[in-house]
Amino acid sequence: MSRRFALLDVFAKAPLQGNQLAVVLDSEGLSDERMQAITREFNLAETVFVLPPERPGHRAHLRIFCPAYEMPFAGHPTVGTAVLLALETFGPDAAGQDAVFVVEEKVGDIRCAVALHSGKAGHAIFDVPRQAERIEAEIDEAALAAMLGLEPSQLGCENHRPSVYSAGVPYLLAPVRDLAAIARARPVIQNWKSVLPEGVGSVYLYTRETTTNGHQFHARMFWLGEGIIEDPATGSAAAAFAGAVAAFDQLPSGTHRFVIEQGFEIDRPSLISLEVDIENHGLDASRIGGDAVVIGRGTLDI
């Protein structure tokens, strides 16, 4: 059976930047084992399988897999698939079209808004379905610094300290002093599991110093999956990071917008937009957005 697929670069306006994504559009009848095997065949950080929605009025049901397991939620797959679904809806007349729809993921229903730039590219923003919550955890900052190849004095960014937050996927959030420190970071594999709190598999480093004016944070994400991997752009980490920004920066009520740089150290520059709504000194809602461009289409004959 032939199944259509598309390859996209997400959180980038141009091909060969951002985070790579495979989306299988015709996924009905595939078992979990088959989806996992196809994901390993693409060998990208994540592959999305598009299925008919479970609820009337929704656009699609999405299953998201990384090479080793299924994800309950991920940011760049949501952005990329939303742009692709809008392109599928409008076809040759896609340029200039807008769409709003709901997709289903394991974490919950997600409302997406898409503005299409052309027949191959667009911008999507989605409501984070589960707001970031802090996970209480003991963090040995000296050990964390050593695990990242840094000095303890390089950890911390103004009043930000290492913390664990989750908006569906937990991350150890590690603020660092400046761009020089974040560029120096190198995971020490043998110390990885002994430093990270139980249930946390990823470290998200961030600093306020950026490469470009108008951006608010610069980030890197290290993940122990099939070995140490650096992710070019991590929307689920940005969703978790919303909790840290709200808490440490003590933001006033209202909507606050940030642009996060990521992937610059691995030549996959990515820009993630993060919006947070603050009410009564707490995080009330958040949204993740970015661009995506289709770089190829094909069929799987399996």
Catalytic residue positions, numbered: 46
CA distance 189 to 156: 22
- Give the 3-state secondary structure of residue 217: strand
CA distance 115 to 122: 6
Read off φ and ψ for residue 62, nearest 5 degrees: -110, 135
Is residue 170 within 8 A of residue 240, CB to CB? The reply is yes
Pairing of strands 133-134, 121-127: unpaired
CA distance 92 to 94: 6
Look at residues 141, 148, 144 and name the one whose alpha carbon lies nearest to residue 187: 148
CA distance 99 to 87: 10
CB atoms within 10 A of CB 90: 17
Write out the H or E segment, with its range, that includes residue 82: helix 75-90
- By the 10 Å C-beta count (0-12 exposed, 13-18 middle, 19+ buried), 173 is classed as buried
